Every structure is written in C-alpha cells, then in structure tokens.
Amino acid sequence: MMKKIFILSLFLTAFSVCASAQASAWAAGPSTETKPRSSLDVELGVPVVEPISKRFRMNIPFDKAVYSKVSSANATAGHQYIWDNFSEGFIMLQYFEYPAGTIPRTPDGKKQWARERTLSRFVKSGVQTLDEKDITISNIPGMEYAAVFKGRLATIRVFANDDVYYALTFLAVPEDAGPTVGKLFDSFEFIKRREKTTRNVDVNQRRRQNRSGRRVLIKNV
C-alpha cells in the first residue's frame, strides 16, 4: 500500500508541474515515510471557507493541505492546495486569477473558455481524455474529465467565473474510491457577494453600536 501511495504522490507532483505550476515544497520532495491517513468521508460534512480569496467554500480542511503559489500564462496570480493525507487518494485544487475581461461573462462563454484552456493543458502535459461531461457548480457551467496521465486514472473538474479559472483533481489510491470524489467535488460552493456584503454590514453595525454605547456612557458620567 505504501508503494502505491508513493507512486501516486510522484504522479500528482508531475501533473502539477506539467500544469505550469511552480515547484512547491511538497512537489520538490514527497515524503516516503509512513504516516497516519484519515478518511475523507469524515470531512465531507464540514464546509470550510478557502482562507485566501474567500470566494468559495468546500468540505475539506484547507489547513491540512500544502499550499503554494503557482503560475500560468497570462494569469496575474495562482494558488494551489495539495492534500496528501487521506486514505481515499490525493486531491489538488488550483485556481488562477486573470485580468478583468479575460474570461467571457456568459455561461456558455465561461464553459467554452475553461474547456479550451483545459484541453490545451492536457495536450502539453500528455494527458489522455477518456470521458468528458457537462457539470454545474453553484450555477456555473463547467466540465468533468475522466483522464489518464502516465498510466494513472484521474478525475478532473474545471470551470471559470469572475475572471478566475478553477481546476479540481482527484487521484484515487484504490482504483475505485466509490462516491467519495463526487461528494467532495459537489461540496464546492461559491460565496455570494451579497453574503459577503451582509457580513461586512453586520460587523460595521456592531462597531457603530459599540462606539455609540461608549459615547452614551461618557455623557451620563
């Protein structure tokens, strides 16, 4: 089992590098030591907000991933998370920020842009596509691929929104991880701007109330 984990670790490293990512500390030298691995099923019921952009949430602990900044052509910023601690397999999440207006605004335009970019990366990386299907994440259309890279199976979801391109990759340690990958990917959810605004308004209201309360106390004294 440890040998299979190590092989898949090297595979995910290669896939990350071929995806135009900079080498992270994890990618530079994946560990071969035996370490306890928890089940991903335990995490699926707990949504966690991605701590950097705060654009989305997902049922996976971001503090258990190895984070690194990555680069891609024409992107202004790139981010990568790799989880190498679950018994079901390895997970990689990448998202790249592009200049305003780079990605079309229409649903069909977003999906086509993400599809063309993904297939171009597959060609450069030597990834063979086995299956392609339409998906929707938070009402944003995208694509899911069953693919093969250097003889290993991968499930990859891609989509684009608000000039950000997202790619989710799952490599199962057993050949079939059952419904786990679907549950994990389906937990991805964008945080609506209204939700962010409401939180900020609540915080500002509490601050004004606190300041107002302090003024009243001073006046009464």
pLDDT tens-digit profile of 153-167? 889 999 999 999 999
Structure confidence at residue 201 as a pLDDT band (50, 70, 90): very low
2-190: CATH topology: Protein Transport Mog1p; Chain A (3.40.1000)
Mean pLDDT value across residues 68-89:
91
Q: Which residues are CB-neighbours of 140 under 8 A, at least 6 positions away?
A: 107, 110, 159, 160, 161, 190
Total-model pTM: 0.74
Averaged pLDDT, 126-146:
93
pLDDT of 106 strictly over 80: yes
Name beta bridge partners: 140.
Answer: 137
Average pLDDT value for residue range 200-213: 51
From 5, 207, 221, select the one nearest 13 (Cα to Cα). 5
Alpha-carbon span 128 to 212, nearest angstrom: 63
- Which of 145, 111, 148 is closest to 127 using CA atoms? 148
Mean pLDDT of the chain: 77
Q: Is the dihedral of CA 200, 201, 203, 208 positive or negative?
A: positive
**CA distance linking residue 57 with residue 187, whole number of Å:** 8
Residue predicted with more confidence, 221 or 143: 143
